[in-house]
Structure 1
Amino acid sequence: MTDYVRLEALRMLRNKRYVIFVVVFPVVFYLIFSSVYGDQADAGGLSGRAYFLVSMSAYGGLAASLMSTAVPWAQERGSGWLRQLQITPLAGWKIITTKLIASMLLVLPAILLVSAAAMLFQGVSMPPGRWLGLLAAMWLGVAPFTALGLAIGSLLPPDTAQPVSMMGMFALALFGGLWIPLEVMPEGMRGVARLLPSADYVGVGHGIVAGDGLPPGDLLALAGWAVVLGVIAVLAYRRAVARA
């Protein structure tokens, strides 16, 4: 299973779209937003530099988790690779676990690079424990989006999975408060944001950076989304296997 994880990770790292959308864009967006809004503070007192550190880390994690699961999984189903995996010694649970592990590994570059840019170029400073807490939250918090990507890849053909995952990624980022602070959103958009896991994801990160610890409401909501979408992903995977 270790070799399979390495194969999956290396394949995505060679993907130019992954490198551009998931690694380069979050860092570039962070440097732009933090330079323009760095001296401003949100309603919670966070500076623009700290606010967009969380938001762009979350965007990178969201993009990485969806791009490394939805389209590749749909392509493997369409090419017959799933049928080939079923005749290998790998059990079904190992195949899906490999996908999850590989996706989690591919989330790290964007989160780490945005954090490095915040420290090196924007002077963001926090106690080591708070940095570690933020990195852990941003990393583990992608679980709902990884499950969503696997569900999309299991249910849709490749030519449909790609636009659906891209639109889903941008919708979650835009309406979840990753690009626009919730406080300045129109009331209607704010109501939509409160229903999305991306808002809970970024809310957990903002709570850590502000020094308030883990926000219980956002944490519980994110965990709930992980369970619900995880169940949907498993059911969708079983359906895909039955049809393979």
Structure 2
Amino acid sequence: MLYYAKTEALRMLRNRRYLIFVVAFPVLLYLINANIYGKQTDPGGVPYNVVLMVSMAAYGALAASMMSSAVPWATERQSGWLRQLQITPLPSWAIIATKLGAALVLVLPSLVLVSVVAIVQQGVSLPVGTWVPLLLVLWLGVLPFVALGLAIGSVLSADAAQPAAMICMFALAIGGGLWFPPEVLGDTLKTVADLTPSFHYANLGQSLVAGHGLPLTDVLVVAGWAVVLGGAAAYLYRRATVRA
């Protein structure tokens, strides 16, 4: 199981799409926006270079979780590799757990790199008591997006899973206010954002850096989406297995 997890992680680290959309793109967006708006503060008094750090780290983590689950899962199912794994001594739960673990490992580079760039280039400084829960929440909060990626990979071919995952990724990033606040596009998008797991996921981090702790509503929404999407992924995985 550990060898399988290591193989999964190494395969994604060699993937150019992963390096561009997950590692380089969030850092680039952060540098551009932080150097333009970084010295301003939001209505709560939090510097924008900190707000943008949380948003870009959340976007990178979201992208990593979906890119590392949807397309590889669809490819393995279509090629018959998933079927081969199912006839090995590796139990089905271990296959899912390995995919989940590999996705969580691949989320870390984006979180760490955006944070390091914010510290080095923008001089962001937070107490250790804020850094630890912030990174932990942004790390574990990607579970709904991993589940969504697995669900996409269970129903679509490898060629179709990639654009579908990217469309969902960009929609969640924009609709959830990770690239810019939903308020700037009016009440309609703000209403849509309130329904997305990405909005509440990023808001967990924003609340921590503002010193407000973890809002219970955001925790419950993210957890609820994780349960719903996790159940959908499990059902679609079983159906794909039966058909195979």
Find the aligned partners of 1:183 and 1:41 in 2 and give their Cα distance. Answer: 16
Cα deviation, residue 48, structure 1: 1.1
Could you report, residue by residue, the CA deviation over 1:69-90 in whole angstroms, capped at 9, with x for unpaired residues?
Answer: 0011001111111111111110
Secondary structure at 2:195 match in 1? coil
User: Is 1:64–2:61 an aligned residue pair?
Assistant: no
The question of whether the paired residues in 1 share the 8 Å contact of 2:149 and 2:165 is answered with yes
The question of whether the paired residues in 2 share the 8 Å contact of 1:43 and 1:183 is answered with no
The total of aligned residue pairs comes to 244
User: Is 1:167–2:167 an aligned residue pair?
Assistant: yes
Cα deviation, residue 43, structure 1: 2.5
Could you tell me which residue of structure 1 aligns to residue 228 of structure 2? 228
Could you tell me which residue of structure 1 aligns to residue 102 of structure 2? 102
Find the aligned partners of 1:231 and 1:88 in 2 and give their Cα distance. Answer: 24
What percentage of residue pairs aligned between the two structures are identical?
Answer: 59
Could you tell me which residue of structure 1 aligns to residue 112 of structure 2? 112
Structure 1 unaligned spans of 5+: none
Find the aligned partners of 1:78 and 1:47 in 2 and give their Cα distance. Answer: 47
Secondary structure at 1:225 match in 2? helix
Change over 3 Å in CA distance of 1:40–1:177 after alignment to 2:
same
Could you report, residue by residue, the CA deviation over 1:28-71 in whole angstroms, capped at 9, with x for unpaired residues?
Answer: 11111111110222232221101111100000000000000001
Cα deviation, residue 211, structure 1: 0.9
What TM-score, normalized to structure 1? 0.98
Change over 3 Å in CA distance of 1:58–1:229 after alignment to 2:
same
Cα deviation, residue 183, structure 1: 3.5
AA aligned opposite 1:136? L
Cα deviation, residue 184, structure 1: 2.6
Find the aligned partners of 2:77 and 2:217 in 1 and give their Cα distance. Answer: 37
The question of whether the paired residues in 2 share the 8 Å contact of 1:65 and 1:103 is answered with yes
AA aligned opposite 2:222? L
Could you tell me which residue of structure 2 aligns to residue 193 of structure 1? 193
Map 1:197-212; keep pairs closer than 5 Å.
Answer: 197-212=197-212
Find the aligned partners of 1:231 and 1:208 in 2 and give their Cα distance. Answer: 29
Find the aligned partners of 1:186 and 1:149 in 2 and give their Cα distance. Answer: 29
Find the aligned partners of 1:47 and 1:96 in 2 and give their Cα distance. Answer: 40
User: Is 1:27–2:31 an aligned residue pair?
Assistant: no
Map 1:1-20; keep pairs closer than 5 Å.
Answer: 1-20=1-20
Which 4+ residue blocks in structure 1 deviate beyond 4 angstroms? none
The question of whether the paired residues in 1 share the 8 Å contact of 2:154 and 2:237 is answered with yes
User: Is 1:92–2:92 an aligned residue pair?
Assistant: yes
Find the aligned partners of 2:161 and 2:10 in 1 and give their Cα distance. Answer: 21
Cα deviation, residue 240, structure 1: 1.2
CA RMSD of aligned residues (A): 0.8
Find the aligned partners of 1:92 and 1:8 in 2 and give their Cα distance. Answer: 16
Structure 2 unaligned spans of 5+: none
Secondary structure at 2:130 match in 1? helix
The question of whether the paired residues in 1 share the 8 Å contact of 2:183 and 2:189 is answered with no
Cα deviation, residue 206, structure 1: 0.1
Find the aligned partners of 1:221 and 1:58 in 2 and give their Cα distance. Answer: 16
AA aligned opposite 2:71? V
AA aligned opposite 1:97? A
Could you tell me which residue of structure 1 aligns to residue 151 of structure 2? 151
What TM-score, normalized to structure 2? 0.98
Find the aligned partners of 2:40 and 2:184 in 1 and give their Cα distance. Answer: 13
Farther off after superposition, 103-112 or 175-184 = 175-184
